[in-house]
Chains A and B, each alone.
Chain A
Amino acid sequence: GIQVEQSPPDLILQEGANSTLRCNFSDSVNNLQWFHQNPWGQLINLFYIPSGTKQNGRLSATTVATERYSLLYISSSQTTDSGVYFCAVERDSGNTPLVFGKGTRLSVIA
């Protein structure tokens, strides 16, 4: 089945710094989502981005489907950005289950 790898596994940032999180996937995909899991376990949708670039405030994401990777950029990080960031791809086509990476644990310190 499709494999999803995320890097780095852990990241510690000073407040105000920028960061880039990477997601590699082993096969072509039709759906790729980025999530932020907060300390209470809630998965919060960040981006639905099977290809191209999107921006939402201090966050942006780029997916290069032909090269099988996606990047999540966090600029001017804040302590509230702390948590685990997951990349997930749809296993097959058309609203099928997601396959998740192991996540990147981000800690932003003041």
Chain B
Amino acid sequence: DTGVSQDPRHKITKRGQNVTFRCDPISEHNRLYWYRQTLGQGPEFLTYFQNEAQLEKSRLLSDRFSAERPKGSFSTLEIQRTEQGDSAMYLCASSSDRVFYDTQYFGPGTRLTVL
């Protein structure tokens, strides 16, 4: 078990560019979550999946954001036409619903800076 991994760890982009982040969950976990964390705040929920099905999207997830988990394994989060307000840490977590209440395990995050 290698834990949750995220790539890239850091991304610097110019306003208006598109970016894509990847998350690989713990292999036996079928639930995958995306959160966003801004400076001085706790993480806030963006969206989550059970296997390949996207179960919910937060109102924080504008139409410039899209997330996929095509084969129920890794997930991607894409931000189109980035804005300076998108600068944040993007965190991915996973858990298993074989246990009704399970611990969520977090990856190291992708820190996005939009210039």
Contact = CB atoms under 8 A, between A and B. Distances in A.
B28 interface: no
Given A90-B101, A91-B45, 14 more contacts: A33-B103, A33-B104, A42-B106, A43-B93, A45-B103, A50-B101, A94-B97, A95-B31, A95-B96, A95-B100, A95-B102, A98-B35, A98-B104, A102-B41
Range class of the B interface residue count: 20 to 34
B87 interface: no
A40 B106 CA distance: 13
Interface of B: 31, 33, 35, 37, 40-45, 48, 56, 89, 91, 93, 95-97, 100-106, 108-109, 111
Contacts of A86: 42-43
A93 B45 CA distance: 16
- From B40, B106, B108, residue with most partner A Cβ within 10 Å: B106
Interface residues of A, number: 27
A13 interface: no
